[in-house]
Amino acid sequence: KRETARATEIMKLTWRGNAGLTNRAVEATLPAREHIASFVRCLRPRWLFAPYHEDAHPDHVAATQLVEAARFHSKLSKTAMPGPRHHPQRIYYYFCIHLRLAVQPSWIVDISEQWDRKLQSIRAYESQFITGRDPGPPSLTDRFRDDAAYWGRLIDRQYGEPFATKEPLAMTSLRDLL
């Protein structure tokens, strides 16, 4: 909890919640799906973010299945779930460190100005990313930096964050492209 509080402070978040799912035991069950859908109905996000659907970590794969199912369930009317019906416009997928595939993102966000803050927030989770890990080289934080630099180079920026979507993106103008 101390690490989460520190990362929340670093990221300057106005809200951060925890679904209470058990680490290394996440399963895409109906009760878990409805639990996540309840969050969606109460928070009413425009978009949902989930791990990319191909990943070596079983929790990440199950979390993606839960988010996809919760998006559908959150719009149902005949249910005991709290909150009014809500259907987020899109699900966007981020890429986790466990992924060992050559992925093709749908788009890459320039995170150069936010890179230091992102790295500080990762380091706040010392027990997960630093303590007890092989110090390298490269260290895990070096790998995060190198990955972000790779994605940044693809868009002519210092650092980038890749995302994917299964649904088409809409633009009002070609000016929306960098």
Q: Could you read off the pLDDT of 135-172 as tens digits, one per residue?
A: 778 888 899 999 999 999 999 999 999 999 999 988 89
pLDDT at 45: 97
Q: Could you read off the pLDDT of 32-55 as tens digits, one per residue?
A: 999 999 999 999 999 999 999 999
- Give the dihedral sign, CA 173/53/109/153: negative
User: Is the CB of residue 99 less than 8 Å from the CB of residue 61?
Assistant: no
Looking at residue 42, its amino acid is C
Identify the structural domains of the chain with CATH numbers, from first to last: 2-171 (3.40.50.10320)
Distance CA 111, CA 149 (A): 10
